[in-house]
Structure 1
Amino acid sequence: METLITLDGVTHTFVTKEGKTELKVQSESTPSKDKEPPKIKVPTAWLITRKNGFPLFAVRPTQGEKPFRIITADKLYSEKIQWFEPLADKYRELIWQHPDSSKPGSEAHSAYKHFTWKQIIDFATIDRWSISFAKGLPGDWKGNSDGGAGFLMVMVDKYPYWTDGVGQIPFAADTFRKYFEELRAKPAAISKTVRTGMEYGDGNPFAPSSDPSNEYDNYMVLRGALWASENFQLVITQKVVPTRGGARTVEQVSSVFQPGSMQYLQQSISTESLSKFGEWKK
């Protein structure tokens, strides 16, 4: 199988055979009078493939890194490389995506589980106990059959992400609601949500290992918290409760979902938001 990929204005041919993909080099005849053979055009890119060698997307390496690689998505994940949060560590620009990635039934399409942001929101707005976000429990979006379902990567509105990155968003939204009701202030609730995400960085609620790193998972927690701050409003009601001596008024606080903008989910974290709420940078 041959795949034509245009990188930096130059079209290259990649050949996939027996589970391995290689760059096809077009040979040119060299007259005997030439002192040097023509230079082989190798792209400055890392081509990311499925385990069977099928090309999925390409990212641009940074200066000083090996300029050309063909590696599997599993290998890229093990190196903690990401392409969706430019301010986070290990960011590499996404420079090519297989054109069939969103075409049902294609080899490229089946590498991902596909969602819209609306579907992510539907999952994230279910009120859950905090413990339910532990691995294997209903709030664990990465493993839930209605969520990532064990896929390494997901496609959200035709853009790829690591599944565990998107899985931070339902946790962040639910945690924000808890602190918003407690603190009654959105900025404070956002900051505390981010700190909680850092504290339970490995997802273990019983013996957590903190994660104060500048990696993408903390950024995705912040995405979720920022989105929740624009889509949940505080409702305070008064309830009369009978007591032995008569009655007393009790204040009840709840956060109510009021659909608004999706921009904080769709866009990477800005320098302004990072400066305000990037607790791991402080």
Structure 2
Amino acid sequence: MRFDQLDKEEYRDILMYRLEENDHGDYPFYIRRYILENDLVHTRHRHDYFQIYYITRGQLKHRIHDKEYEMIKGDLFVLPPYVPHSVENYDHVSCEVIELEFKPEFINQSFAGDVDIQSFVDFMYIEPAMVQESKLRQRLSLAGKMEGDAESILNDILYEFNGKKPGFELMAKALMLKLLAMVGREAAPECHRSDNLVDKHRESVLRVVKYLEEHYAEKIYLEDAVKVSLLSHTAFCNVFRNVTQKSFTRYLNELRVSKAKEYLKKTDIKMIDICSKTGFDNVTHFNRTFKQLTSMTPKAYKQVNR
């Protein structure tokens, strides 16, 4: 399979970014650290290069193949050429990321032209972390020493690129190969580890689910759930995602919206009171979250369900 085979006909009308358009000079790779400010949205687009996206602070939403995923600090994804995706701030909160982009031939000149994608992927040791339509691996959650090492390597690549001292491209290539090997090593056993974690700690997640059912009207933070689970922060987030197929925030919001639907269908209480009874801070937050999850405003939902 060649990379150009990912450039499907149905994607042709989607905005395409090319590496040379970054206005960074005639280099086969590009890296930057930047902040996605409040309400910033990168609309659906594609690239003709590989992209590594690493979250250093905050949260964002990554949408790929019409599915949306929440990403937090320590999360990383590898996106191959031509695959449509988009990113945006999570709940209007700023997010800091490191974005690394590179041409396949930068890693090895022999992969230029009609390259077989599997040979390239095998060489990079990142097949498990690749985002492919046949096997969607939308993110890799790093933690502990791995998180620190990956971020350090990305910062070193950023330093080399910004300084452009003699030999910086060779240094960057070596660092990138190290990063890709680390990512592949971390990702390869991830499914097996996740299955073991789920089996071992399913009861912890069910305990949290029961807690949310009983306390959804109150202020609940992620750390509250972590304490109830009796797990570490990282273990809880991983297991909760695997058991519920949702992030903690998504699950809590969906629970609150489902409770709000019952009030809208069966009562005539004011919106501000529904907010209070379902755990939303204010009517604006309630309206926005409700519409995100149902594609309708609370008022419209009430009108069609009465």
Shorter-chain TM-score above 0.5: no
Higher helix proportion (structure 1 or 2): 2
TM-score normalized by the length of structure 1: 0.32
Higher strand proportion (structure 1 or 2): 1
TM-score normalized by the length of structure 2: 0.30
Higher Rg: 1
